[in-house]
């Protein structure tokens, strides 16, 4: 506990300058401010001063995610980690809703983790940054983003259930991002827990090689500890009389006088492990075949440790550990394993890092809005040093921002620090423009220098220099939002509050888009899925105290045309003394480029091209853009249309607004005459399913207008790659579950907008006009 020394505690009870709650405050000479709330001391016993917590060596940093199926025990495990490392005083409990990491009210109530918060703590000289990854499919963007900032992961499984669908999805995403992992079989105390079955399901479902580094001692009710396979030691948690918090455990070598069966199992497991690792690692194989070919018994533990580390980092195998977070067993060895087997930031490779060298490059991976302090931005620093009171440059927003404070995040607690180096996770105050997914560097000059460097490297490799900017960015792409619905405040007076709330939410979540319907003036939310929009709705109520009404959930279609058409239109109005006269001649035709045109491609007829003044040109293009947002069939935005301005004639009094209005109207006229076509979002669907259920899944896909691109064979699964219109995918997870008894998993990703068949289009138009 941080000593308050002679300071009078009573006089220190005041409002914390960060969290604004009445708390006991201590002011550190190094300018650290600490909340000493009842459950949290902000510094653990063994941290004597702030200096020790601000300078970790990069090799001692672990940026780790915990990924798990909902309810596998991710939150409980995280809590225990914080407790054993000394950052929390009492054990939080998800069932009581008082854990540190699930700090959004909603998460506490739903008991699921929606937002990825980062928590930093130290364990035996290692700095561990835990990045909490969300478990639900609708939050794939969040998962992807957190995978981007972490270097390794712990997959937590319920030992009574084995590998469940959701963890399979996240596991595949981690494969895609090349993330080394270790597994923790949690809930070993639970009825029905089976170490063997859980390991089998890891082998089968995850198609990976589990390395058993532990064996459980007892199972279900009798679970009391673990055997360390490498050292052949047993670790037993003894219930202390008063407090069974798992802090006290005994580690001692297994002897023949102990459990003979256990000793034999441990020896067998060790031999198997050595053989497995020797198969995967040449350096270790040489050692085993040479010096230790007679007997493995004398093989030093460190040699085995480092070989296991190498195969883990190379993602050739996955070490498996077990325990019970709830019953406080097995978490300390898991922390040891994180420091021992998962990579340090400098062991990971990111493309863009080499362009920056020692200059600052960081990725904003999370924005939270604090009522008092404004936006708090979580950053992963890839290179360089970050300091408070400094200006930084945001590449995505092309702007310079000032960072006022730099904090170390401890879930909902933070400690102020004076600098932070590459590999770390920082929380900043003062960045007003930066949003989730933005890349932050020291200055525009630094970004340009990196771009030149990247241009040389990329250009020489690919023989071209365009598109270099993308290499500089640390962020990930945000997919198109494909669902939308209207949102209304309870009264018009609350509209400005709603607008503010939505601005904040958009910065936190780039997959949320907000727009205004041009006709009705209604606010429209566009999102990634049903749950996504529901959560946003919920957050507006809880965090901003606003009651809002959502319209029905709809699919975001687009429109285009299939032939070329000309139109002419004239506006003639007298306003006051002035007569505004304008005539426009506009042609529209289909765009035939390689990539789709979501903004209008505007051309001018040769004879007028040079004679149009810039302000007139701007007015014309405004008019075109306005019309582009509203297609002729259903009012959805246009795509792939080329607009040719053939003539625009005005008189001297005509205002530019009138020009825009006339151009817009003329273009609408042309569009209405053209052969109209609705485009619908088509998704890439990837289903992993057993041979046994393949037929049922394919039959169902055929009814959903799905087209199968490929069926890949795996040892005992099939992977179906298909394209399916989004409109056919409502409620698919429930259907797939019942078709396959829950054994199949799927991922759904936006692919492109595609032409609807005449039959489907007619049905849609009838439905929209209320005829069907
Ligand atoms: P999360 O959804 O992965 O974050 O899981 P939680 O940590 O919220 O836990 C889900 C439920 O499982 C809660 O009711 C926990 O009390 C319970 N739980 C977590 N760990 C264990 C464990 O080791 N053993 C048992 N029996 N239950 C556990
Ligand atoms: Mg949780």
Q: Which of 66, 68, 71, 216 to mutate to test the pocket of ligand 1 (most atoms within 8 A of CB)?
A: 71
Residue 5 has pLDDT above 70, yes or no: no
Ligand 2 centroid distance, CA of 111 (Å)? 6
- Cβ of 678 closer than 6 Å to ligand 1, yes or no, is no
Of 367, 369, 368, 432, the C-alpha closest to 403 is 432
* Per-residue model confidence (pLDDT) at position 164: 76
Distance from C-alpha of 674 to C-alpha of 112, rounded to nearest angstrom: 50
pLDDT tens track for 735-763: 998 999 888 888 777 788 999 999 999 99
Determine whether the shortest distance from the Cβ of 506 to ligand 1 is under 6 A.
Answer: no
Assess whether the C-beta atom of 185 lies below 6 angstroms from ligand 1.
no
Q: Is 413 in the pocket of ligand 1 (CB under 6 A)?
A: no
Distance of CA 175 from the midpoint of ligand 2 (Å) = 22
Higher-confidence position of 20 and 654: 654
What band does 733 get if pLDDT is binned at 50, 70 and 90?
A: confident
Which pLDDT score is estimated for 493?
93
What is the DSSP secondary-structure string of 246-312?
Answer: S--EEEEE--TTS-HHHHHHHHHHHHHHHHHHHHH-HHHHHHHHTTTSS-STTS-HHHHHHHHHHHH
Q: Which atom of ligand 1 is nearest to the CA of 74?
A: 3
Ligand closest to the CA atom of residue 220:
1
Ligand nearest to the CA of 101: 2
In 3-state terms, what secondary structure has residue 455?
Answer: helix
Residue nearest to atom 2 of ligand 1 (CA): 71
Q: How far apart are CA 126 and CA 151, in angstroms?
A: 14
Does the pLDDT of residue 489 top 90, yes or no? yes
* Helix-, strand-, coil-residue percentages of the chain, each rounded to 5: 35, 30, 35
Averaged pLDDT score across all residues of the chain: 82
Q: Find, among 459, 424, 451, 480, the residue nearest to 682 by Cα.
A: 480
Minimum mean pLDDT among 347-361, 428-442, 535-549, 614-628: which range? 347-361
Task: Supply 39's token pair.
Answer: 């459950």
| Whether the Cβ atoms of residue 631 and residue 600 lie closer than 8 Å to each other | no
Pocket test for ligand 1, best of 76, 109, 112 (most atoms within 8 A of CB): 76
Check whether 413 has a pLDDT greater than 70.
Answer: no
Query: Which pair of structure tokens corresponds to residue 465?
Result: 């220099």
Q: Tell me whether residue 380 is exposed, middle or buried, using C-beta atoms within 10 angstroms of its C-beta: 0 to 12, 13 to 18, 19 or more.
A: buried
Q: How does residue 99 score in pLDDT terms, banded at 50, 70 and 90? A: low
Structure tokens at 754: 């595609």
Residue 101 binned pLDDT confidence (cut-offs 50, 70, 90):
low
* pLDDT tens readout for residues 269-282: 999 999 999 999 99
Q: pTM (2 decimals)?
A: 0.72
Ligand 1: residue whose CA is nearest its atom 10:
71
The 3-state secondary structure of 402-419 reads EECEEEEEECCEEEECCC
Query: Using a 6 Å cutoff on CB, does residue 662 contact ligand 1?
Result: no
Instruction: Name the closest ligand to CA 93.
Output: 1
69 CA closest ligand 1 atom index: 3
Task: Please give the average per-residue pLDDT across 537-565, as a whole number.
Answer: 91
Phi, psi of 188 (to 5 degrees): -65, -15
Which ligand gives the minimal distance to the CA of 78? Answer: 1
| Dihedrals phi, psi of 646, to nearest 5 degrees | -90, -35
- Look at residues 17, 327, 64, 93 and name the one whose alpha carbon lies nearest to residue 191: 327
Nearest residue to 2 (alpha-carbon basis) of 38, 31, 34, 30:
34
312 Cα–ligand 1 center, Å: 27
In DSSP terms, 403 is beta-bridged to 390
Contact 238, 248 (CB under 8 A): yes
**Percent of the chain beyond pLDDT 90?**
44
pLDDT score recorded for residue 638: 93
Look at 755 and 169; give whichever has higher pLDDT: 755
Mean pLDDT of 537-543: 88
What's the pLDDT band for 149 if we cut at 50, 70, 90?
A: confident
């Amino acid at each position: 506990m941080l000593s308050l020394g002679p300071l009078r505690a009573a006089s220190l009870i005041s409002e914390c300058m960060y969290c604004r709650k009445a708390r006991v405050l201590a002011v550190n000479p190094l300018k650290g401010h600490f909340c000493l709330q009842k459950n949290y001391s902000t510094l653990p016993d063994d941290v004597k001063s702030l200096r020790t917590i601000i300078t970790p060596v990069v090799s001692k940093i672990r940026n780790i995610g915990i990924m798990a199926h909902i309810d596998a025990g991710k939150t409980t495990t995280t809590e225990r980690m914080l407790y054993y490392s000394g950052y929390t005083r009492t054990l939080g409990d998800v069932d009581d809703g008082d854990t540190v990491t699930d700090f959004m009210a909603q998460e506490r109530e739903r008991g699921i983790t929606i937002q990825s918060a980062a928590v930093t703590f130290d364990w035996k000289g290692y700095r561990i940054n835990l990045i909490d990854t969300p478990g639900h499919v609708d939050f794939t963007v969040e998962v992807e983003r957190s995978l981007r900032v972490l270097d390794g992961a712990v997959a937590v499984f319920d030992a009574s259930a084995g590998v469940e669908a959701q963890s399979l999805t996240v596991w595949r995403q981690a494969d895609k991002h090349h993330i080394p992992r270790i597994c923790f079989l949690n809930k070993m105390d639970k009825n029905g827990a089976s170490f063997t079955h859980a390991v089998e399901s890891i082998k089968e479902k995850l198609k990976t090689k589990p390395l058993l580094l532990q064996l459980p001692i007892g199972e279900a009710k009798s679970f009391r500890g673990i055997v360390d396979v490498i050292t052949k030691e047993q670790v037993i948690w003894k219930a202390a009389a008063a407090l069974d918090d798992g802090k006290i455990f005994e580690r001692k070598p297994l002897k023949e006088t102990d459990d003979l069966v256990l000793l034999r199992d441990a020896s067998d497991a060790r031999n198997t492990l050595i053989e497995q690792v020797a198969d995967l690692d040449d350096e270790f194989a040489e050692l085993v075949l040479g010096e230790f070919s007679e007997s493995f018994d004398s093989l030093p533990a460190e040699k085995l440790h480092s070989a296991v580390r190498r195969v883990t980092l190379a993602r050739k195998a996955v070490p498996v550990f077990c325990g019970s977070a709830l019953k406080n067993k097995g978490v300390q060895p898991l922390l040891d394993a994180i420091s021992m087997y998962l990579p340090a930031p400098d062991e990971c490779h990111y493309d863009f890092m080499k362009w920056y060298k020692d200059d600052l490059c960081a990725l904003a991976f999370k924005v939270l809005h604090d009522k008092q302090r404004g936006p708090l931005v979580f950053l992963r620093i890839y290179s360089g040093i970050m300091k408070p009171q400094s200006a930084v440059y945001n590449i995505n927003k092309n702007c310079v921002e000032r960072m006022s404070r730099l904090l170390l995040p401890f879930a909902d607690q933070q400690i102020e620090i004076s600098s932070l180096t590459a590999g770390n996770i920082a929380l900043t105050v003062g960045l007003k423009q930066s949003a989730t997914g933005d890349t932050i560097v020291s200055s525009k000059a630094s970004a340009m220098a990196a771009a030149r460097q990247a241009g040389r490297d990329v250009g020489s490799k690919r023989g071209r220099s365009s598109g270099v900017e993308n290499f500089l960015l640390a962020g990930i792409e945000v997919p198109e939002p494909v669902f939308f619905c209207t949102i209304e405040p309870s009264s018009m007076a609350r509209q400005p509050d709603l607008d503010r709330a939505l601005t904040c939410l958009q910065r936190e979540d780039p997959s949320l888009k907000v727009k205004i319907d041009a006709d009705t003036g209604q606010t429209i939310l566009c999102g990634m899925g049903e749950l996504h929009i529901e959560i946003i709705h919920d957050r507006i109520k809880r965090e901003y105290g606003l009651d809002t009404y959502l319209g029905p959930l709809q699919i975001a279609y687009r429109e285009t045309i299939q032939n070329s058409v000309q139109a002419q239109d004239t506006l003639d109005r007298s306003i006051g003394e002035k007569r505004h006269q304008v005539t426009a001649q506009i042609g529209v035709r289909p765009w035939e480029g390689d990539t789709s045109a979501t903004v209008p491609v505007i051309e001018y007829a040769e004879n007028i091209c040079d004679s149009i003044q810039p302000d007139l040109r701007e007015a014309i293009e405004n008019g075109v853009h306005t019309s582009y947002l509203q297609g002729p069939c259903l009012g959805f935005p246009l795509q792939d249309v080329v607009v040719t301005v053939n003539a625009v004639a005005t008189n001297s009094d005509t205002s530019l607004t009138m020009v825009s209005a006339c151009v817009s109207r003329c273009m609408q006229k042309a569009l209405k005459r053209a052969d109209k076509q609705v485009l619908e979002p088509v998704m890439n669907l990837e289903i992993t399913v057993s041979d046994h259920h393949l037929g049922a899944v394919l039959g169902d896909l055929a009814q959903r207008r799905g087209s199968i691109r490929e069926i890949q064979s795996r040892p005992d699964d099939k992977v179906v790659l298909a394209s399916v219109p989004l409109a056919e995918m409502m409620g698919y997870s429930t259907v797939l579950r019942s078709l396959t008894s829950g054994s199949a998993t799927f991922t759904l990703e936006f692919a492109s907008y595609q032409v609807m068949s005449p039959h489907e289009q007619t049905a849609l138009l009838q439905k929209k006009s209320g005829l069907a």
